A and B are shown apart, each in its own frame.
Chain A
Amino acid sequence: NAGVTQTPKFRILKIGQSMTLQCTQDMNHNYMYWYRQDPGMGLKLIYYSVGAGITDKGEVPNGYNVSRSTTEDFPLRLELAAPSQTSVYFCASSYQGGRVGEQYFGPGTRLTVT
């Protein structure tokens, strides 16, 4: 199993551009999450999904959109990128029904908006 994969690893955007961060997991997990990690800070939840077709906002959803058309994929869309969105983005997944709370993380995407 590859676990949780994220692409790209790095990206530089200009203000106002848009992009999609890709996230795929091959563990058949029902829950998936998107976090951002700002320098010197812990993670903040952007969006999460409890299954295909179901998404919900986390703590910091503004400026982002998500979709969950399949169990495996959970892309994060940035529309009209702003410097405040410069951060490292982590995708994670977990299986609710297994060991509660054990989230498996991808390697992260470092995004810079200039």
Chain B
Amino acid sequence: AQTVTQSQPEMSVQEAETVTLSCTYDTSENNYYLFWYKQPPSRQMILVIRQEAYKQQNATENRFSVNFQKAAKSFSLKISDSQLGDTAMYFCAFMDSNYQLIWGAGTKLIIKP
């Protein structure tokens, strides 16, 4: 069975710093998708970035980028120039061939002013 592991329950950084959130996963599939979702205190789940496993190039969305290491089954999220509004729970998720998302337990990120 596929699993997703986020080893950092909580992280905090100063505003404008760069922070990296870790995620590892386990699967025997070769083609799949990986995601980072953000859940602010409002509880709304928001897609931050997605990565197709068949693409070698790391995905980037403005201040958010990933470091996708397929052989190591690692998918970390880097947030540059962090802002107070980035404070949230961040979830890593894996999509299997049945289009079902398998979620990590989340990392609570606090951006300090």
Structural contact, A40 and B105, CB atoms closer than 8 A: yes
Q: Name A100's contact: one of B9, B33, B42, B103 (CB within 8 Å).
A: B33
Which chain A residue has the least Cβ–Cβ distance from B91? A42
Structural contact, B95 and A43, CB atoms closer than 8 A: no
Residues 22-44 of B contacting A (Cβ, < 8 Å): 33, 35, 42-44
Segment at the B interface, from A21-29, A64-72, A73-81, A102-110: A102-110
Q: Name A31's contact: one of B44, B91, B99, B103 (CB within 8 Å).
A: B99
B21 interface residue per 8 A CB criterion: no
Chain B residues bordering chain A, tally (CB within 8 A)? 22
Q: Decide: A107 near B106, CB < 8 A? Known: A58-B100, A101-B101, A102-B50.
A: no
* Closest Cβ–Cβ distance, residue B1 to chain A (whole Å): 9
Q: Name A48's contact: one of B4, B46, B93, B100 (CB within 8 Å).
A: B100
Complexed CA–CA distance, A30 and B43 (Å)? 24
Structural contact, B45 and A92, CB atoms closer than 8 A: yes
Structural contact, A42 and B45, CB atoms closer than 8 A: no
Complexed CA–CA distance, A47 and B100 (Å)? 10
Q: Decide: A96 near B99, CB < 8 A? Known: A105-B44, A107-B43.
A: yes
Structural contact, B106 and A42, CB atoms closer than 8 A: yes
Q: Name B50's contact: one of A88, A99, A105 (CB within 8 Å).
A: A99
Complexed CA–CA distance, A105 and B104 (Å)? 17
